[in-house]
Chain A
Amino acid sequence: MTTYPLVLADSATMLRRNLRRMRRYPSLTFFIAGIPVVFLLLFVYVFGGTLGAGLGEVSGGRAEYLAYVVPGILLITVAGAAQGTAISVAMDMTEGIIARFRTMDIARVSVLTGHVVGSVIQTMLAIVIVMVVAVLIGFRSTTGPIEWIAATGLLVLTALAISWLSVALGMAAKSVETASNLPMFLVLLPFLSSGFVQTDSMPDGLSWFAEHQPFTPLIETVRGLLLGTAIGNSGLVAVGWCIGISVVGYLWARRLYDRNPAS
């Protein structure tokens, strides 16, 4: 009975609901943008001088480190938004209105897509805020509009993947507290990647992990698109990870939503 236009109409309604809720509770969006901005300033001004010297380039310094770290900070912004998404989904699921939605003849997935699309928009807002701060403190991209569009596209795709995963995490959590803790690993992962230091400076095991986890190809691709460094096959691997995580997150979230709410 669920037809395609119905899914779109109901998802749009649910998206409007989530965007309105975000406006009523704006501190969450600022929190999502605030943490990466703090990381950016911390890494550039506190660690940047030293870490820049370790980049292995001739004139390594704070300015070079700023350029190096921005892609990692952008990805940490996307990963950090997962926490906000999981919390708002978990809070929403405790509200009686979700039970009401379940007894209405609406496209069931729309409750989830509303959260996912809302979360992607919220993440991209945070990305814009972080990028503005990066530019203000001296970050300059060396590439052109086509690469910027591609970078934006990849960040949206990543936000989509992380959002589906965090919607599922938010529903899997038995309480709002758990929902806020579950996505913590997503914020840690960018630190164990090529985002802050080069992976070959890490011990063997860690370096292997860093090169094979999703954030390294994502960061390398964004870095290549913003600074013209070599991308190699990172782009394909990054898109592959995004699609894979989206599908897993979507299927898991649907399964959790269709489950009997009381059991």
Chain B
Amino acid sequence: MTSIESQIAIRAMGLRKSYGKQVVLDGIDLEVAEGTVFALLGPNGAGKTTMIRILSTLIAADGGEVQIAGHDIAREPNAVRAIIGVTGQFSAVDGLFSGEENLQLMADLRHLSKRAGRQRVDQLLQRFDLVDAAKKPVATYSGGMRRRLDLAMTLVGDPRVIFLDEPTAGLDPRSRRGMWQTIQELVVGGVTILLTTQYLEEADRLADRIGVLDRGVLVAQGTPAELKRLAPGGHIQLSFIDAGELERAARAFDGASRDDESLSLQIPSDGGIRSLRALLDKLEADSIDVGALALLTPDLDDVFLSLTGDPDNQKVAVQ
């Protein structure tokens, strides 16, 4: 830990967890640098929530080590708890309390002075647009409001490391954007965030690094750009109405892969205007009749599907 840039906020080594014979986490290694966002991406049942539960000291791992800001979670759980904040998938608010009372409860438990607590509560109510609903019981809140309150409660203690388990699951598009903005603001303030998500767009947009978790194994890890390079390349897809046209097009374009069943042809392309024009000119010149044309660029979806779809997947290293 020489400079701020090189500080590791979260370090997990060989993390394992099983429930009975069911192996949920099978040797996870990851490092998250301070002040960055790490997204744990994976389908349902991949082990994302178990990972968050272990890192946030809620449950113990069967094997492996975890350090949060240099504190070992098994040996110094309270030192870890003092600097982390967790917002889980299931809302962790008291339904019988108002939003304000929930926040005040957190301020009391963080041992803030009466005055400091009051200020923090008011500030968070404003920041999360909950002033109007502050005195209403949480049971009357919408899903988006509950999630905002949940995160506000996590922030009462000014955590340096925040775990967010599917922070936008079940939110409408507007609430989701609001949550993204909040996360980005937190990172600007120097907070380290580890979040889980099933949404590739979310990981792409928020994360500095992404780990793809599948069946308890990190099958890939890297920046969004690095992961996209793992995907099959971009291409232009042509669909035809009859097999004869497909036959002619296949002969015209070398290196294209044809699919006789769907009467389509996939031509590798960088997706640029120049190559698209060249392709259209060639179709024109040969007077090939095309039913439809689609331009496909690789996105994280392709990475995700290619990494998690095949049961015999090999571990892919990206560095």
Contact = CB atoms under 8 A, between A and B. Distances in A.
A100 B88 CA distance: 8
Interface of A: 1-2, 6, 9-10, 13, 16-17, 20-21, 24-25, 95-97, 99-106, 260-263
Contact of B57 (A17, A95, A103): A103
A13 B58 contact: no
A246 B206 CA distance: 51
Contacts of B111: 6, 9
Contacts of A13: 105, 108-109
A105 B79 CA distance: 7
Interface residues of B, number: 32
Interface in B7-66: 19, 53, 56-60
Nearest to B81: A105
Nearest to A16: B108
A96 B92 contact: yes
6 shortest A-B CB distances, which residue pairs?
Answer: A96-B92, A100-B92, A105-B81, A105-B82, A13-B108, A1-B78
Contacts of B256: none
Nearest to A102: B58
Contacts, number: 73
Contact of A99 (B60, B88, B109, B154): B88
A97 B81 contact: no
10 contacts: A1-B79, A13-B108, A13-B109, A21-B96, A24-B137, A103-B81, A105-B79, A105-B81, A105-B82, A263-B19
A6 B105 CA distance: 15
A263 B110 CA distance: 28
Given A97-B92, A99-B58, A262-B53, A20 B97 contact: yes
B104 to A, nearest CB: 10
A103 B86 contact: yes
Nearest to A6: B111
Nearest to B90: A96
Nearest to A13: B108
Contacts of A95: 92, 94-95
Q: Is the interface of A mostly helix, strand, loop or mixed?
A: helix
A243 B53 CA distance: 37
Contacts of A96: 88, 90-93
Interface hub of B56, B109, B110, B154 (most chain A Cβ within 10 A): B109
Given A20-B97, A24-B96, A104-B157, A10 B109 contact: yes
Nearest to B86: A103
A1 B78 CA distance: 7
B289 interface: no
Contacts of B95: 95
Nearest to A23: B96
A244 to B, nearest CB: 31
Contacts of B57: 102-103
Nearest to B89: A96
Given A24-B96, A262-B59, A103 B91 contact: no
B84 interface: yes
Contacts of B109: 10, 13, 101, 104, 106
B58 A103 contact: yes
Nearest to B52: A103
B82 A99 contact: no
A13 B107 CA distance: 10
B87 to A, nearest CB: 9
Contact of A100 (B60, B82, B96, B153): B153
B222 to A, nearest CB: 29
Contacts of B90: 96, 99
A97 B94 contact: yes
B101 interface: yes
Interface in B156-176: 157
B78 A2 contact: yes
Contacts of A99: 58, 86, 88, 90, 92
A13 B108 CA distance: 7
Nearest to B87: A100
Given A1-B79, A103-B56, A103-B84, 19 more contacts: A6-B111, A10-B109, A16-B108, A17-B94, A17-B97, A21-B94, A21-B96, A24-B97, A95-B92, A96-B93, A99-B86, A99-B92, A100-B92, A101-B109, A104-B157, A105-B79, A260-B60, A262-B19, A263-B59
Contacts of B78: 1-2, 105
A260 B24 CA distance: 16
Contacts of B60: 260
Contacts of B86: 99-100, 103
Contacts of A104: 81, 109-110, 157
A193 B167 CA distance: 56
B94 A261 contact: no
Contacts of B105: 13, 17
B49 to A, nearest CB: 10
A255 B141 CA distance: 35
A83 B311 CA distance: 50
Contacts of A101: 109
Nearest to B17: A262
Nearest to A260: B59
Contact of B101 (A20, A100, A102): A20
